């Protein structure tokens, strides 16, 4: 099969969260199955400045085109390279005005529609650029709201009689339903989308606004989300972010496939950034990693105090409001809490303050992949008290590092973590309600078992023995691509 995988983030070029991880790893596995899968993302300033030399990014000859949006004509072209250690081609959409001049993937402090406009243009330009270089995929795998306009453009171009775009199918993956790209209908003129055709209740229209996520759901041939549980949850009002009705109406083409982890990157046996490698057979190195982490975070170096870690976007989804409410209790518990994250300024500020007024909670802000790896390796437990969680990669990475997850029973967390109790298998700790008392109970239970080395070792082994590599999920995607091509609904 010929597949174009389009995403706003692709690791290692551009990553803010798990979307980047998935886009940088799933295509490797699809390629290994013998398919021609190519990946495309914008050429952000950060790529330009940091990675061009390492990855030998080169211009794609004869790929230059001009496109006009809002009366302004602008130049677009492609660059390309190979995804590191693979033969997967990655294309970059080059445009200085929208992408090249900004370091950040999602620059803050811009006009309300800035983000929307640049990803609409990215989607439109992608189609025109692959036409220009004559790479016609059979399927375009679209990811998240940023590129939800692709099925709409494909339909528009095909209906306008452009042969190249006829017959291309689309799979739309929802990584996070809470970011939908809602905006005023004025955007349609900018986006060159025909309101007659697409702006109605069974299309982009959403309570008098345009909703791109809704468009992706309706116009894609197939939709999926990143765990089976989240696929069920989003069809309910509690998790549906107001689109549960639309999702229920489209449930025949909706399925869930759990994300995998790329163990060639996330693996304590080979991780080159941690102070000492370790494996389930030889676990000794983990205690050196713990000492290094306690030192890095200026905490008391003590093997008997459990280190609980969070590596996370600092947004409400991840349970920071819950955490905020139990700070006092945490200060008094015999544990150390280590946090690395960036996101909402209100959480960054609030959490950074804890460095000054607590002795057992340490917070660092910023995006730092190397530090993240050191944390996964050095911590004893990994905390993910999410309000909702489509899949979650962090808990899967933690398992591989023998770092025991403590999570809320929601979304992909419920599909991957089994609550430990003495009489049964368990690879972590879970609480049900999004409530401080439940979170505290789970933490206390984990800390209690931590004191019993025999039991704790068993939990660690249960965690580290889990296999959440990509193989199985990539096979499910391969099947989903085939069903998309055949127009087959799930049975």
Asked whether 131 and 164 are in contact (CB, 8 A), the reply is: yes
Asked whether 127 and 150 are in contact (CB, 8 A), the reply is: yes
Residue of 311, 391, 463, 464 that binds ligand GLC (CB under 6 A) = 391
407 near ligand GLC, rule: CB under 6 A: no
Q: How far apart are CA 290 and CA 310, in angstroms?
A: 14
Query: For residues 39 and 60, which CB has a smaller minimum distance to ligand ADP in the complex?
Result: 39
Q: Which of 115, 124, 181, 144 is nearest to 7 (CA)?
A: 144
Query: For residues 48 and 259, which CB has a smaller minimum distance to ligand GLC in the complex?
Result: 259
Nearest approach in angstroms of CB 8 to ligand GLC is: 11
Q: How far apart are CA 467 and CA 453, in angstroms?
A: 24
Asked whether 126 and 150 are in contact (CB, 8 A), the reply is: yes
* Closest chain position to ligand GLC (CB): 18
Q: How far apart are CA 267 and CA 91, in angstroms?
A: 28
- Residue ranges in contact with ligand ADP by CB under 6 A: 17-19, 21, 311-313, 340-342, 367-369, 372, 391-394
Angle, CA of 108, 112 and 114, to the nearest 5°: 70
* Closest chain position to ligand ADP (CB): 18
116 near ligand GLC, rule: CB under 6 A: no
Q: Residue-wise over 322-333: b if at least 16 C-beta within 10 A, else e?
A: bbeebbeebeeb
Residue of 19, 213, 289, 299 that binds ligand GLC (CB under 6 A) = 19
390 near ligand GLC, rule: CB under 6 A: yes
Residue of 48, 126, 176, 403 that binds ligand GLC (CB under 6 A) = 176
Residue of 389, 415, 419, 483 that binds ligand GLC (CB under 6 A) = 389
413 near ligand GLC, rule: CB under 6 A: no
Please identify, among the stretches 289-297, 389-397, 421-429, 437-445, the one whose residues bind ligand GLC according to the rule CB under 6 A.
Answer: 389-397
Q: Which of 179, 76, 82, 86 is nearest to 132 (CA)?
A: 76
Q: Is 308 helix (H, G, I), strand (E, B) or coil?
A: strand
Query: For residues 129 and 439, which CB has a smaller minimum distance to ligand ADP in the complex?
Result: 439
Residue of 17, 137, 215, 343 that binds ligand GLC (CB under 6 A) = 17
Strands 65-69 and 72-82: antiparallel
23 near ligand GLC, rule: CB under 6 A: no
| DSSP assignment letter at 428 | B
Residues 6 or more apart from 229 whose CB is under 8 A from it? 256, 410, 411, 412, 414, 415
Nearest approach in angstroms of CB 248 to ligand ADP is: 24
Would you call the peptide bond into 369 cis, given omega within 30 degrees of 0 as the criterion?
no
Please identify, among the stretches 241-249, 267-275, 344-352, 384-392, the one whose residues bind ligand GLC according to the rule CB under 6 A.
Answer: 384-392
Nearest approach in angstroms of CB 49 to ligand ADP is: 19
Asked whether 459 and 203 are in contact (CB, 8 A), the reply is: no
Residue of 392, 402, 405, 426 that binds ligand GLC (CB under 6 A) = 392
Nearest approach in angstroms of CB 212 to ligand GLC is: 16
Asked whether 407 and 308 are in contact (CB, 8 A), the reply is: no
Question: Per-residue x/- marks for ligand GLC, 251-270, CB under 6 A?
Answer: --------x-----------
27 near ligand GLC, rule: CB under 6 A: no
Residue with structure tokens 């016609």? 136
Q: How far apart are CA 14 and CA 34, in angstroms?
A: 26
Residue ranges of alpha helices (H) inside 417-452 are 436-450
Residue 109: Cβ within 10 Å count: 5
| DSSP assignment letter at 10 | B
Partner touching 312 among ligand ADP, ligand GLC, none, CB below 5 to 8 Å by kind:
ligand ADP
Asked whether 311 and 342 are in contact (CB, 8 A), the reply is: no
Residue of 38, 175, 362, 387 that binds ligand GLC (CB under 6 A) = 175
Query: For residues 37 and 305, which CB has a smaller minimum distance to ligand GLC in the complex?
Result: 37
Partner touching 372 among ligand GLC, ligand ADP, none, CB below 5 to 8 Å by kind:
ligand ADP
Partner touching 340 among ligand ADP, ligand GLC, none, CB below 5 to 8 Å by kind:
ligand ADP
Element housing 293 (H / E): helix 285-296
State the helix-helix crossing angle for 369-378 and 285-296, rounded to 10 degrees. Answer: 120
306 near ligand GLC, rule: CB under 6 A: no
Question: Per-residue x/- marks for ligand GLC, 211-250, CB under 6 A?
Answer: ---------------x------------------------
Nearest approach in angstroms of CB 333 to ligand ADP is: 24
Query: What are the residues binding ligand GLC (CB under 6 A)?
Result: 17-19, 22, 175-176, 226, 259, 389-393, 412
């Amino acid at each position: 099969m010929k597949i174009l995988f389009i995403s706003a983030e692709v690791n290692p070029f551009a990553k803010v969260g798990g979307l980047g991880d998935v886009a940088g790893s799933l295509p490797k596995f699809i390629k290994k199955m013998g398919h021609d899968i190519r990946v495309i993302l914008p050429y952000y300033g950060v790529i330009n400045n940091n990675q061009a030399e390492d990855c030998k990014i080169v211009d794609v000859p004869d790929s230059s085109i001009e496109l006009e949006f809002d009366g302004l004509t602008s130049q677009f072209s492609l660059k390309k390279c190979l995804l590191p250690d693979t033969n997967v081609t990655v294309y970059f959409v080059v445009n200085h005005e929208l992408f090249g001049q900004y370091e950040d993937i999602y620059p803050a402090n811009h006009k309300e529609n800035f983000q929307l406009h640049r990803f609409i243009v990215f989607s439109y330009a992608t189609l025109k650029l692959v036409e220009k270089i004559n790479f016609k995929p059979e399927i375009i795998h679209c990811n998240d709201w940023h590129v939800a306009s692709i099925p709409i453009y494909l339909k528009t171009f095909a209906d306008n009689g452009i042969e190249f775009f006829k017959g291309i199918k689309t799979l739309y993956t929802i990584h996070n339903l809470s970011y939908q790209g809602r905006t005023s209908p004025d955007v349609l003129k900018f986006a060159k989308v025909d309101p007659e055709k697409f702006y109605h209740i069974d299309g982009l229209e959403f309570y008098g606004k345009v909703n791109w996520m809704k468009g992706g759901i309706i116009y894609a041939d197939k939709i999926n989300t990143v765990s089976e549980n989240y696929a069920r949850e989003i069809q309910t009002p509690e998790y549906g972010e107001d689109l549960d009705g639309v999702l229920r109406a489209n449930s025949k083409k909706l399925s869930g496939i759990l994300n995998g982890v790329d163990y060639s990157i996330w693996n304590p046996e080979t991780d080159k950034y941690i102070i000492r490698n370790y494996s389930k057979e030889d676990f000794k190195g983990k205690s050196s990693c713990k000492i290094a982490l306690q030192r890095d975070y200026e905490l008391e170096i003590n093997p008997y105090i459990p280190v609980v870690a969070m590596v996370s976007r600092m947004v409400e989804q991840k349970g920071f409001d819950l955490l905020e409410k139990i700070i006092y209790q945490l200060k008094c518990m015999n544990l150390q809490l280590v946090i690395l994250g960036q996101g909402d300024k209100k959480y960054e500020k609030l959490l950074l303050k804890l460095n000054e007024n607590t002795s057992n909670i340490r917070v660092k802000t910023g995006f730092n992949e190397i530090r993240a790896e050191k944390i996964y390796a050095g911590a004893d437990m990994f905390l993910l008290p999410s309000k909702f969680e489509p899949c979650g990669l962090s808990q899967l990475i933690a398992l591989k590092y023998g770092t025991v997850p403590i999570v809320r029973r929601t979304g992909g967390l419920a599909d991957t973590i089994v609550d430990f109790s003495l009489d049964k298998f368990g690879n972590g700790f879970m609480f049900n309600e999004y409530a401080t008392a439940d979170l505290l109970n789970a933490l206390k239970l984990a800390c209690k078992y931590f004191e019993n080395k025999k039991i704790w070792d068993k939990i660690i082994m249960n965690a580290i023995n889990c296999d959440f590599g990509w193989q199985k999920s990539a096979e499910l995607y391969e099947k989903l691509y085939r069903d998309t091509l055949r127009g087959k609904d799930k049975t």
